[in-house]
Amino acid sequence: MEPVKQDAEHKATILLVDDESINLSIFGQLLTPYYQVLVATNGQRALQLVCLTPKPDLILLDVMMPGMDGYEVIAHLKANPVSRDIPVIFVTALNSDLEEERGLVLGAVDYIYKPCHLSILLARIQTQLELKSARDRLKDQNTFLETEVERRDKDNRAVHAQLLQSEKLAAIGQLAAGIAHEINNPIGFVSSNLNTLSCYLTDLFCVVDAYESTLSDTEISKEALQKLQELKKQKQLDYLRSDISELIAESREGLLRVRDIVQDLKNFAHSDANSWELADLHKGLDSTLNIIANELKYHCAVHKRYGDIPQIYCLSSQLNQVFMNLLVNAGQAIETQGEITIGTGCTDQEVWVEISDTGKGIAPENLSHLFEPFFTTKPVGKGTGLGLSISQNIVGKHGGRIEVTSNLGHGSQFRVWLPIHPTQS
């Protein structure tokens, strides 16, 4: 396997290390037609040369040298990242299995005895060079693949973050629309009540004015009194009296509803999403329910079966997000009319919150995919498939779990188990 003669630019570089210049000269002459040859007459010089360009592709290293012997040189070469991968072939006059073994253990790729036949020497050098170039190619490919995997990973993370962000925005948009509706309703009737009240006041003042002008007469005629009676009747003063108090009570009630919604919103997101605190889950459930009332009220009857549960240490606004996802899912599973039941309870160590619905249920083959990000059976634009995956993440952070049971065509139950005293990571 004689190597092909190449022009200097494409020749592999071989470093000869030998303290005897006669050896360097013989090997040098043999190899020069095929390789670019560097020479070093001692170990120190060899270690310097491997750090320069062109870096040798292979080293032929004498074992017996004064000062630093071949074994010490190879130990240094292997310890230095710059030279670690350069294959080293020991060339020695020492014909001993033990020495050969020592050389190989230290990292040499081959062991050649002097004197040796040129064609054998060339073949063994060529084999090692080919192996090295295959290793180099593999290394390059690995580096390329690693950067590619890293780049794709980064891209994926960016896309995921972007999707999460748009999911969040969509959810906030939906929520905002629901809340706007909830607030608009009372504001609508309060402002219509104010209009009516203003008409009533005009009528009232009209009657008051008539009374005043009658009273300013020195003598009140029977006729004038009759006119006043008629005006009172015409303006339906008795009806005004009762309707005004009703309108005021209704308006007050409407404003209280607006105040409650604002309070619920504050409760829903009152704390920093990342702050752990002792919280009452029932309060969180109630606020969440009020916030999504608009989504549920037309087709779902909601029943609360709250048990006696302790406050738990948790990220309460994140748990509210879980309850919201489960309640919205339950509402969306109910196609015409149905019921949602929210139950709570506890054991010694854990509390549970169960949201069950009488909706369409989950096909058995889908059960194992529910918590996968982007798994959705909803039409485009309706669901992104992130609700449960986000919820599981949040519950996982608490050291809890979500259990699901479902009966296709009849409904589903999602039970969230949370430790009362979570061990925070």
Task: Choose the one of ligand ATP, Mg ion, none that binds residue 362, judging by a C-beta under 5 to 8 angstroms depending on kind.
Answer: ligand ATP
The residue from 383, 400, 402, 418 that contacts ligand ATP (CB under 6 A) is 383
Please list the alpha-helical segments (H only) found in 217-236. 222-234
Degrees to nearest 5, angle at CA 108 with 80 and 37: 80
Contact assessment for residue 356 and residue 411, using Cβ atoms and an 8 Å cutoff: yes
> Which listed option, ligand ATP, Mg ion, none, makes contact with residue 378 (CB within 5 to 8 Å by class)?
ligand ATP
**Shortest Cβ 355–ligand ATP spacing (Å):** 8
By the rule CB under 6 A, 292 interacts with ligand ATP = no
Residues binding Mg ion (CB under 5 A): 329, 387
The distance of closest approach from Cβ of residue 285 to ligand ATP in the complex, given in angstroms and rounded to an integer, is 16
Among 91, 125, 370, 395, binds ligand ATP (CB under 6 A): 370
β 277-279/312-314 pair status: antiparallel
Stretch 344-363 residues interacting with ligand ATP (CB under 6 A) = 357, 359, 361-362
Q: Helix, strand or coil for residue 341?
A: strand
Using rule CB under 6 A, residue 325 touches ligand ATP: yes
CA distance 246 to 228: 26
Q: What is the DSSP letter of 254?
A: H
Per-position DSSP letters for 215-280, written without gaps between them: HHSSS--HHHHHHHHHHHHHTTHHHHHHHHHHHHHHHHHHHHHHHHHHHHHHHHT-S-TT--EEE-
Backbone angles phi, psi at 84, to 5 degrees: -55, -35
CB of 367 to Mg ion, least distance (A): 15
393 contact choice in Mg ion, ligand ATP, none (CB below 5 to 8 Å, kind-dependent): none
- Residue 80 or 165: the one with the smaller Cβ distance to ligand ATP is 165
Please choose, out of 138-146, 220-228, 231-239, 386-394, the segment that lies near ligand ATP by the rule CB under 6 A: 386-394
**Is 56 a binder of ligand ATP (CB under 6 A)?**
no
Nearer to ligand ATP, 71 or 414 (CB): 414
Per CB under 6 A, does 121 bind ligand ATP? no
Residue 412's H or E segment, with its range, is strand 411-419
Q: Choose among Mg ion, ligand ATP, none what residue 271 binds, the Cβ cut-off being 5 to 8 Å by kind.
A: none
Six-digit token string for 323: 């309850």
Position of minimal CB gap to Mg ion? 387
State the virtual CA torsion across 193, 198, 200, 206 in degrees, nearest 10: 180
Buried b (16+ CB within 10 A) or exposed e, 271-298: eeeeeeeebebbebbbbbbbbbbbbbee
Question: Is-contact 17 60, C-beta < 8 A?
Answer: yes
Closest-CB residue for ligand ATP?
387
Q: Which stretch binds ligand ATP (CB under 6 A): 117-125, 244-252, 253-261, 372-380?
A: 372-380
Q: Is residue 392 part of the contact set for ligand ATP (CB under 6 A)?
A: no
- Which of 103/411 has CB closer to Mg ion? 411
> Which residue, 255, 317, 323, is CA-closest to 285?
323
Partner interacting with residue 284 (select from Mg ion, ligand ATP, none; CB below 5-8 Å by kind): none
Q: What length does the chain have?
A: 425
Output the CA torsion 168→172→173→178 (10° steps): 140
**Residues 18, 46, 412, 417: which binds ligand ATP (CB under 6 A)?**
412
32 binds, among ligand ATP, Mg ion, none (CB under 5 to 8 A by kind): none
Nearer to ligand ATP among residue 43 and residue 385 (C-beta): 385
The reply to whether 331 sits near ligand ATP by the rule CB under 6 A is no
Enter the tokens of residue 250: 């209704």
Minimum distance between the CB of residue 297 and ligand ATP, rounded to whole angstroms?
A: 18
Q: Using CB distances below 5 to 8 A depending on partner kind, what does residue 359 bind out of Mg ion, ligand ATP, none? A: ligand ATP
Is residue 385 within the footprint of ligand ATP (CB under 6 A)? yes
Q: How far apart are alpha carbons 62 and 27 in whole angstroms?
A: 12
The two tokens of residue 139 are 């290394």
Binding of ligand ATP by 400 (CB under 6 A): no
> Are the C-beta atoms of residues 95 and 113 closer than 8 Å to each other?
yes
Specify the residue for token string 């050969």: 100
Q: 43 or 387: whose CB is closer to ligand ATP?
A: 387
111 neighbors 92 (Cβ within 8 angstroms): yes
Give the count of beta carbons closer than 10 Å to the beta carbon of residue 86.
Answer: 19
Nearer to ligand ATP, 87 or 387 (CB): 387
Residues within the interface to ligand ATP (CB under 6 A) = 167, 325, 329-330, 333, 357, 359, 361-362, 370, 375-378, 383-389, 412
